[in-house]
Amino acid sequence: MTKCCKPFTTNPLTKNKMNQDKNNSTLPSFFHSLPLTPSHSPIIGLSPMDDITDLPFREICKEFGADLLITEFIASEALNRDAEKSFRKMRFTPKQRPIGIQIFGADEEELLRCLEIVEQAEPDFIDINWGCPVRKVAGKGAGSGILQDIPKMLRITAALVKHSHLPVTVKTRLGYSTDSMMITDFAEALQDTGIAALSIHGRTKTQMYSGTADWTMIGKVKNNPRMHIPIFGNGDITTATQAVENKNRYGVDGILIGRGAIGNPWIFEQCQRVLRGEPEREITVAERVDVCRRHLHAAVAFKGERTAIFEMRKHYGAYFKGLFNFKPFRLALVSTPTLEETLAVLDRIKEHYNTLP
Ligand SMILES: Cc1cc2nc3c(=O)[nH]c(=O)nc-3n(C[C@H](O)[C@H](O)[C@H](O)COP(=O)(O)O)c2cc1C
């Protein structure tokens, strides 16, 4: 048996390759194929982020109402050579469904070979990363590097769809650069490969993370009458109001929130509130401390104290963003080497800010 990621529950979808609409609801068929209970549109999901959206963080986002989760990206070649860390990235809990496992790579054979391994983890769908701009990925033709060779991207995507027993989705960017072929030119061809949904980050590869995400291009794809698969918009959503405004303006079926969820898993709950027409609620310092503490405990349980203490340092600044004179606490959080000491700092934060006038 392959390592580690045997599912906790049986996925009823494994044999049910899906793109037909089986009922008359207005939700796109891909959503019917998922164990979703959406009473609303759009679907608000957590955007995959390497070294951030691991199992413990996803669990917390789910708890606060994220409709859809996707793992961090996982190198096909690392899965094929049995790399322990990559197998760990595929793990998820039953509560995290519907969840996609995201894979990346530039080599068609490696990508096809890892399909079986990914399918054994029984996610609800497999997401292909055609969007990562970082040099070590894109420079090898994977991630958004492939946007320089659209025919290759289409060929590999079609092959993965053909050989997968699960729905395959794609997450990509607007294009390689503004001089090259843009998403509005190739979205239909991507759809024709048989993918179940398309997520678009509103930047080009060459933009990396600079400037602002261009949602008008995402809207153009969504409003192309020939597009029928769900379109997820992504980029720069940091508040629930923005998420709902973008849904209304661009008509997307779903929204993926990445950086806006770091240290702020409440953003999903706030989105649900705003979608129901309720006001956002204030998140107290005590609540921030409690959720951060639970996140820390879950991280320790998942990856061990040493690694968890180190990796959690990426989250603290965001959990306590905006607190007056927070610097000494932040310094303490990023330098304490043990769980016990970190918990003591968190207690001090709670006490200090709760007793402020
Ligand atoms: C630290 C970090 C890691 C990321 N890792 C991934 C990844 O593994 N897979 C992926 O598709 N996108 C990845 N992204 C891109 C995000 O999913 C998202 O597309 C991008 O950050 C824009 O959305 P946002 O403005 O809501 O963050 C990453 C982004 C960041 C900041």
Tens digits of residue pLDDT in 206-218: 999 999 999 999 9
Residue minimizing CA distance to atom 22 of ligand 1? 235
For ligand 1, say whether the CB of 299 is within 6 Å of any of its atoms: no
Residue 227 Cα, ligand 1 centroid: separation in angstroms?
A: 24
Q: Which residues contact 76 (CB under 8 A, 6 or more apart)?
A: 103, 104, 105, 107, 110, 111, 113, 114
Say which residue, 276 or 75, is predicted with more confidence.
75
Confidence band for 199, pLDDT divided at 50, 70 and 90: very high
Residue minimizing CA distance to atom 30 of ligand 1? 49
- What is the distance between the alpha carbons of residues 222 and 232, in angstroms, rounded to a whole number? 9
pLDDT of amino acid 181:
86
**Mean local confidence (pLDDT), 32-44:** 71
Residue whose CB lies within 8 A of the most ligand 1 atoms, among 214, 259, 267, 311, for a mutation test: 259
Look at residue 166 and tell me whether its pLDDT is greater than 70. yes
Q: Which domains does the chain show, CATH number per domain?
A: 29-275 (3.20.20.70), 285-354 (1.10.1200)
pLDDT of amino acid 36:
65
Residue 207 Cα, ligand 1 centroid: separation in angstroms?
A: 13
pLDDT of amino acid 39:
56
pLDDT of amino acid 19:
33
**Mean local confidence (pLDDT), 220-235:** 96
Look at residue 348 and tell me whether its pLDDT is greater than 60. yes
pLDDT of amino acid 9:
32
Q: Say which amino acid occupies 20.
A: Q
The token duo for 170 is 């794609």
Dihedral pair phi/psi, residue 64, rounded to 5°: -90, 15
pLDDT of amino acid 35:
64
**Mean local confidence (pLDDT), 166-176:** 97
Look at residue 12 and tell me whether its pLDDT is greater than 70. no
pLDDT of amino acid 17:
38
Look at residue 37 and tell me whether its pLDDT is greater than 70. no
pLDDT of amino acid 226:
97
**Residues in a beta bridge with 43:** 254
Look at residue 198 and tell me whether its pLDDT is greater than 60. yes
pTM of the model: 0.92
